[in-house]
Amino acid sequence: MKTAFVTGGSGFVGRNLIPLLLEKGYVVKALARSEKSAGQIRQLGAISVQGDLQDLQALQTGMTGCTVVFHLAASINMWASEQELWADHVTGTENVLQAAKQAQVNRCIYLSTAMVVLNGKPIVDADERLQSDNLVDGYSRTKLAAEQRFLQANSETMQTVVIRPPIIWGKGDTSTLPQFVEAAQKGQLMFIGGGNHLFVTSHIRNLCHALLLAGESTVGGEVFFVTDGEKLQFKRFVKDYLATQGITVPDRSVPLPIAKGTAELLAWFWRTFKRPGAPPFYPSMIHTVGLPYTLSDAKIRRQLGFQNVVTVEEGLREMSEYR
């Protein structure tokens, strides 16, 4: 019987991947660092394994008998420093790989992020060969370092694959949507340079389909972008996304040079005076939402046979029904 181990099982991606794995006939075990997470995992139909990414014994125990590991767990904090995120993203990933090797797991799939290629310049139809020379935030740096650990661990006995989605969205979104909603409610949501630039997204169902394909393939040592296969106007998508929740967004815009300067000034002020939380604007945010950002996922379509299971229009319709 096929058995999978999942880290981050109670997160947005994990809550969608686990049911898909169960539907495909897998027995699923998932790491849970709290009783609340354990309860959510059990409700999904998976077996909870108490522990966290720093608990090597729990990881190895959970992975024993598994043929594939899906490493989804991450700290979704784009403002945190590299030092703050290193333990979760890099040391945690090293522990996952060590435990998988000891448990003789055949395949390990890592959920990274397309943010590892952002460089403060327009990105147009980039493929996996693009390497950033200007990563400005700890989140991207530590995710890239974790990627490198994964690829270095690829071998004949344990194949590793890295999946890089851009902005993840969809029904039950607990990361992207709440940030947009909060900014809109505070009157802080402004489109940079008019917001007419193109970007790409990854619907949660499309992403989970890609993760499953990676887990069942025989490919190793590879990195794949995965998108919804549609180039979207940023402003139009954000307006449509928030409209599914009954929120109307005014056409407020700020020129790109002013947005960049403001973000750098606020970042300096927050760090210098140790302000709590994150500033309303900071450099990596501008890199993510203020510039053209389109990616080619031709590689995963060619090598793994990936096809989108839901369109952007269908995903937005689901969001409206979910409200």
Side chain identity at 106, as an amino acid letter? N
282 is catalytic: no
Give me the residues paired with residue 50 across strands. 32
- Quote the CA–CA distance of 301 and 305 in Å, as a whole number: 5
108 closest CA partner among 144, 70, 152:
70
Write the CB contacts of 250 (distance below 8 Å, at least 6 apart in sequence): none
Q: What is the dihedral angle through the alpha carbons of 145, 146, 152, 155, rounded to the nearest 10 degrees?
A: -170
Write down the catalytic residue from 110, 139, 241, 293. Answer: 139
79 closest CA partner among 254, 230, 312, 288:
288
- Quote the CA–CA distance of 154 and 140 in Å, as a whole number: 22
Output DSSP code: residue 90. Answer: I
57 closest CA partner among 3, 98, 118, 88:
98
Structure tokens at 132: 């950033």
- Quote the CA–CA distance of 240 and 237 in Å, as a whole number: 5
Tell me if residue 195 falls in helix, strand or coil.
Answer: coil
Sequence-ordered strand ranges (E) for 87-219: 107-111, 123-126, 159-164, 167-169, 191-192, 198-199, 201-203
Cα separation values, 219 from 41, 85, 156, 160, 257, Å: 29, 29, 11, 8, 43
Q: Residues with catalytic annotation? A: 139
